[in-house]
Amino acid sequence: MAPPTICRVGIVGSGIMGAGIAEVAARHGHTVVLRSRHATSAQGTIAALERSLGKQVDKGRLEATERDAVLARVSVSCSLDALADCDLVIESVVEDLDVKKQLFRDLDHHVQPAAILATNTSTLPVVELAVETGRPEQVCGVHFFNPAPAMTLVEVVRPLTASDDTIAAVRAFAQACGKDAVEVKDRAGFIVNALLFPYLNNAVRLWEHGTASMEDIDTAMKGGCNFPMGPFALLDLVGLDTSVAILEALHHELGDPSLVPAPALRRLVAAGRLGRKSGQGFYDHRR
Ligand SMILES: NC(=O)c1ccc[n+]([C@@H]2O[C@H](COP(=O)([O-])OP(=O)(O)OC[C@H]3O[C@@H](n4cnc5c(N)ncnc54)[C@H](O)[C@@H]3O)[C@@H](O)[C@H]2O)c1
């Protein structure tokens, strides 16, 4: 039997990543149902999508008729019931295992039995979400990168429980969204974050030790390694709360003390400075 084809996509969570994945999926012809807990954030996501598509029309990259068609494919709801008919539901809420486990239990009851349930987690164990459901063979990871419309990679994460059909269907979905899909086993950080976050945490420690200013560390890594942005700019883009959660998950699984989040990261999060999304992080983004 061929793997299921994905037409109708549900997305849970209207933060940075949920909104970005909704845009990608709708731009590539999928019907999208975005579930947000609050009507205001759901409407905010639609407004942001309108602005993003409007900019692409202004730049001549998108026809106005296509913008209208994309917007017509996206609906929002505060209820999980709206996801009932989806072929694939992608969870993209806060990086917290208990929150995600509860959500997978809820999704299992609300979404049609044939559907695939996927998580956009950056590093948490996908198998622990799969076994919360009555369909562990239909659960996997689909890890988009930030900003989802621009980044070309998707990691398709295969927990021990996933069927080949599930992985094939999600891989085909990622490719239908114009992404390069790589398959990776279910281990903390998958490929990219397993390599990236030790580096980001070390950059913060270097700064804490007074080795150089954050501006100079960013300049050094851009000019010296040809990276498009330095570690502090990237941490602000990812979100410092999400970054702390990723490091904690890596440390929890691997036990390497160098993965304990650098103190400055925790202090900034405690101060509500979460990076670009809150206006301030390592840098001030309010100007
Ligand atoms: N930020 C990144 O660069 C990045 C990249 C790839 C994957 N991810 C992953 O995507 C997921 C979402 O991250 P984000 O950056 O969009 O975060 P975000 O902070 O922008 O959004 C988090 C969303 O979760 C919702 N939420 C918070 N608590 C909740 C709860 N108790 N129940 C249900 N929903 C809740 C919030 O309302 C918000 O819509 C995380 O798993 C993260 O690891 C993030």
The answer, yes or no, to whether any atom of ligand 1 lies below 6 A from the CB of 92, is yes
Q: Is the pTM of this model over 0.75?
A: yes
CA dist., res. 192 & res. 250, Å (int):
12
One-letter amino acid of 255:
G
Closest CA to 7 of 79, 115, 82: 115
Cα 82 to ligand 1 centroid, rounded to whole Å: 20
CA dist., res. 251 & res. 272, Å (int):
23
From residue 7, how far is each of 73, 109, 143, 227, 272 by CA, in Å?
11, 21, 19, 36, 38
Token couple for 140: 């996997």
Cα 95 to ligand 1 centroid, rounded to whole Å: 6
The answer, yes or no, to whether any atom of ligand 1 lies below 6 A from the CB of 146, is yes
- Respond yes or no: is residue 122 known to be catalytic: yes
Protein residue whose Cα sits closest to atom 40 of ligand 1 = 95
Closest CA to 125 of 198, 172, 189: 189
Closest CA to 66 of 53, 48, 78, 75: 53
DSSP structural state of residue 60 = T
CA dist., res. 156 & res. 118, Å (int):
9
Closest ligand 1 atom, CA of 246?
43
pLDDT tens for the 287 residues of the chain, in order:
677 789 999 999 999 999 999 999 999 999 999 999 998 988 899 999 999 999 999 999 999 999 999 999 999 999 999 999 999 999 999 999 999 999 999 999 999 999 999 999 999 999 999 999 999 999 999 999 999 999 999 999 999 999 999 999 999 999 999 999 999 999 999 999 999 999 999 999 999 999 999 999 999 999 999 999 999 999 999 999 999 999 999 999 999 999 999 999 999 999 999 999 999 999 999 98
